[in-house]
Structure 1
Amino acid sequence: MPEKLSDRTVFTLVEVARSIQKTIAERYKSVYWVKAEMNKLNHYSHSGHCYPELVEKRQGQVIAEMRSVLWKADYQRIDRQFIETTKEPLKNGITILFQATISYDPVYGLTLRILDIDPVHALGELQREKLASINRLEEEGIFRANKSLAFPVVPKRLAVISVETSKGYADFLKILQHNPWGYHFEQTLFPALLQGDKSVQAISGQLERIAQQQDAYDVVAIIRGGGGDVGLSSYNHYLLASAIAQFPIPVLTGIGHSTNETVSEMVAYQNAITPSELADFLIQRFHRFAEPVNQAREIVIRKATQLVTQERDALNNQIRYFRLHSMHLVSGQRKALEYGAVRLGMVSKTRLRQGQQDIHHTAQTLRVAASSRCKGTWSNLQAMEKTTQLLDPRQVLRRGYSITRINGKALKSIESIREGDVIETVLAHGSITSKIDELKPLDNG
């Protein structure tokens, strides 16, 4: 009961809350369909319950916000319906049409209890997001930018954005590495989340990394396995589609589904339904280049074989002609040699006799000249011997001469000695050692 204070009626907080609770319970007895954006799902895995944050925006500004609750059983049922209908799980950031009751609790405040969500309406919202992305890309003139790039003749160096453990990625590698022609591809994996709210940022971030080293790669391949049980709405996101559309080298997609082509696939240079199909596309590109090369190789081999055969035949003809001509020439030369040998034999005998006579005469002349020369040389040698004997130092010493030495060297001038030096005087029959007391230079005056 309210409390009376002088002229005022005062209510407690719980009385006010209960009054509001009663009023809302009496006013909102029905179940209502409400449209709002689910800003956050707030799913708690330990309890299975969800506490979605619901908002309404106008021109980017939040004009209404309200709490809600989605109990575990209802969440599981609704999530299954979403996956079956939209191929997407219930998630953050989508506009939903939901059925709810309105209640007020003195502690937890105003709450909408969500009983059901129309997945068909959500599907329409996803389609509107997709169309909005397409229209924006068209208006900016970049929708076909990646498709207009020149595709490499041989797409050998691949930058692959995928999950390392993805089955689609494994299938992709298996087909490339075991192709029957033995074509060799070089793959560099850039790991990224490929589904959920964070996939847009993850894939875009890896595209930025690849762009910084774009010269190292021929194409980019975005590989994702799985089917319709995993969400694809992130591939309709404008930011991801824009990054692919404006990428400087061709982007190829193989994200594993057969319906509802996403915007990212539309703007990519080439879209394959599955990773395996994308691998086949790359192999065919290789084959498209290799086949003409192999054909040209066969033509070159065939032409070269023909040319070698023609040249061999021509060479054999030349050999046969050369052999016949050589035999004829050798036969003629043999006859000429035989005739020449006969003439040479006759001439040689005459010249031999004349030569023998000339040699005999020359030998006689040489003997006489040599004898005379030897006698003259002998006389000269005897005279030189006598002169040498007379000049022998021992003979000179015997005639009264001597040799003076200092330190074993012959002394020729007093300029090389000083007073007090010891000198040696060599005579014919001995030597004298002396000490110099006085030096007297020769007076030339």
Structure 2
Amino acid sequence: MNPIRLSDLAFTIEAVIDEAFGQRALWVVAETSDIKNYPDRGYCFLTLIEREAGRETLAKLDACIWRKHHHTIRDFESETGVAFARNIQLLLLVSVGFSPVYGLRVEILKIDPSYTLGNLERERQAVLDKLVQDHPDRVWLEAGQYITANQLLPRPTVIQRLALISAPGSDGWRDFRHELTQNAYGYAFQVDEYLTQVQGTGAERAICGQLERIQQSEIPYDAVVIVRGGGSQLDFGSFDTFLMGYTVAGFTIPILAGIGHERNVSLTDMLCHESVKTPTKAAAFLIDHNRQFEESCLQLRDRIGMATRDAMQTAREKLDSETERLRFVMHNYFRDRHTDLTEKAVTLRHLDPANVLRRGYALLLQEGRILTSVAAVKPDKTLQVQLRDGTITVISQGVGESVASA
């Protein structure tokens, strides 16, 4: 046996690796693990691994990011909204080298953000496709849009009784409660809290467990509100799972999501009744919803008041018109009656016996009764003849004959 020096072996490995890779960079797909990032110093150490479907590790290599390429971490997080953390599958541009002193060195030169975004979108689409295929009563496609049973639930005219799902004492919980209670209109809301974790491993089961509690309570909530503060894309993984999508899409109470994700839309956002970006905006949405109802009531009140005033004005004008018409009719009526009475008075004056006697007529009375017929005159009776200026007495002797006496 002729042993060789360790340095000779190391130099040989260095030469082989240098010949195989040289200064060439390679694109590699790998999953991150054991990250030790030192942004203040400008370098990062991590382990790259490849797993089989059964999660068995097929390969593992140590890697690093040096100062001149450390900005690629910030660039990746800025473009994807995903925190550079462990257990993310990435597409990396790497160079491979070997140092006789420090050993094999895999240096990361660049991280492709489009690969990560594409993976997230493919995973989300796979969940959507499975929901549509296996549960068409909860999620279905209509004119290219995903429609859910929860979206089609009628929204109460006024939303007052709420079930709130949030992490206890979190910024999202605090922002939502503050905005809701300090609203400018003094609206009162009754909020029952169902506090639980909303991110990390098992968060989707915890959230869905609270939704099941709400369902089983049989309390007639107007809406369920799910809120959490901001965070990276990975922090929102629980809102992109099949379990969350299935539960939210078919839930029998309208769900409002304000999960603090400004960058992308999660499956929960897509499938719930209404989605806003932040917990503060979720509270503002509820306040604005109730304000719209109040404004419609105020507008209706104003319309009723205006209609009442118009009706009163119309009635007043009609009453004035009818009063004037009645006054005119009564004036004409009384004028005509006055004319009739005047004419009748003239006629009566003409028919007054005194006036008749002045015209040369006389009244013949027998036993105080006016005689109008010869047949009524009895013989040998005293009759009175009334003239204009006095009365004379006569005795009847027969029809057509009379004898006057002084």
* Same-fold call, TM cutoff 0.5: yes
- Name which of 27, 43, 51 aligns with 2:46: 51
- Name which of 266, 270, 274 aligns with 1:262: 266
Q: Distance in 1 between matches of 2:51 and 2:264?
A: 28
Aligned to 2:179: 175
| 1:49 partner letter | C
Q: Distance in 2 between matches of 1:91 and 1:22?
A: 34
| 1:35 partner letter | V
| 1:92 partner letter | R
**1:205 aligns to what SS in structure 2?**
helix
Q: Is 1:159–1:210's contact at 8 Å kept on the other side of the alignment?
A: no
Q: Is 2:89–2:116's contact at 8 Å kept on the other side of the alignment?
A: yes
Note the alpha carbon deviations across 1:192-222, whole angstroms, 9 max, x for none: 5555xx1x62253133034124334443212
TM-score (norm 2): 0.57
**More strand per residue: 1 or 2?**
2
Q: Distance in 2 between matches of 1:17 and 1:28?
A: 16
Q: Distance in 2 between matches of 1:240 and 1:32?
A: 41
Note the alpha carbon deviations across 1:241-260, whole angstroms, 9 max, x for none: 33433444332111335553
Aligned to 1:87: 81
1:11 and 1:220, CA in 2 relative to 1: closer, same or farther beyond 3 A?
farther
Which segment drifts farther, 267-276 or 247-256? 247-256
Q: Distance in 1 between matches of 2:100 and 2:46?
A: 18
Q: Distance in 2 between matches of 1:234 and 1:206?
A: 9
Identity %: 28
Shift of 1:63: 7.6
Gaps of 5+ in 1: 5-9, 304-445
Q: Distance in 2 between matches of 1:247 and 1:107?
A: 61
**2:46 aligns to what SS in structure 1?**
coil
1:244 and 1:79, CA in 2 relative to 1: closer, same or farther beyond 3 A?
farther
Q: Distance in 2 between matches of 1:54 and 1:264?
A: 31
Q: Is 1:94–1:125's contact at 8 Å kept on the other side of the alignment?
A: no
Aligned to 1:205: 206
Q: Is 2:32–2:46's contact at 8 Å kept on the other side of the alignment?
A: no
Q: Distance in 1 between matches of 2:84 and 2:224?
A: 31
Aligned to 2:65: 71
* 1:223 is the counterpart of 2:227: yes
Aligned to 1:30: 23
Q: Is 1:245–1:267's contact at 8 Å kept on the other side of the alignment?
A: yes
Q: Is 1:66–1:111's contact at 8 Å kept on the other side of the alignment?
A: no
Shift of 1:29: 1.0
Shift of 1:116: 1.9
Alignment of 1:1-400 (within 5 A): 3-4=1-2, 19-40=12-33, 42-43=35-36, 49-55=44-50, 57=52, 64-71=58-65, 73=67, 76-104=70-98, 110-140=104-134, 141=136, 142-143=138-139, 144-152=148-156, 154-164=158-168, 166-192=170-196, 194=198, 198=200, 201-214=202-215, 215-216=218-219, 217-226=221-230, 232=236, 235-286=239-290
Q: Is 1:163–1:192's contact at 8 Å kept on the other side of the alignment?
A: yes
Q: CA RMSD in A?
A: 4.1
| 1:81 partner letter | D
**2:202 aligns to what SS in structure 1?**
helix
Shift of 1:172: 2.5
Gaps of 5+ in 2: 140-147, 309-406
Aligned to 2:391: none
Shift of 1:266: 0.1
| 2:209 partner letter | E
Which segment drifts farther, 263-272 or 138-147? 138-147
Q: Distance in 1 between matches of 2:252 and 2:92?
A: 43
Note the alpha carbon deviations across 1:32-76, whole angstroms, 9 max, x for none: 22231314252356986331332154x556584221322363674
Q: Is 2:30–2:92's contact at 8 Å kept on the other side of the alignment?
A: no
Which segment drifts farther, 31-40 or 239-248? 239-248
Q: Is 2:49–2:57's contact at 8 Å kept on the other side of the alignment?
A: no
1:223 and 1:14, CA in 2 relative to 1: closer, same or farther beyond 3 A?
same
**1:50 aligns to what SS in structure 2?**
strand
**2:97 aligns to what SS in structure 1?**
strand
Q: Distance in 1 between matches of 2:66 and 2:195?
A: 33
Q: Distance in 2 between matches of 1:132 and 1:229?
A: 18
Which segment drifts farther, 81-90 or 175-184? 175-184
| 2:265 partner letter | E
Q: Is 1:33–1:97's contact at 8 Å kept on the other side of the alignment?
A: no
**1:147 aligns to what SS in structure 2?**
coil
Note the alpha carbon deviations across 1:121-141, whole angstroms, 9 max, x for none: 322322323322322322233
Shift of 1:270: 0.8
1:83 and 1:145, CA in 2 relative to 1: closer, same or farther beyond 3 A?
same
Q: Distance in 2 between matches of 1:76 and 1:233?
A: 26
Q: Distance in 2 between matches of 1:246 and 1:104?
A: 56
Q: Is 2:255–2:272's contact at 8 Å kept on the other side of the alignment?
A: yes
Q: Is 1:126–1:233's contact at 8 Å kept on the other side of the alignment?
A: no
Q: Is 1:83–1:229's contact at 8 Å kept on the other side of the alignment?
A: no
Q: Distance in 2 between matches of 1:93 and 1:227?
A: 17
Q: Distance in 2 between matches of 1:152 and 1:86?
A: 37
Q: Distance in 1 between matches of 2:55 and 2:171?
A: 43
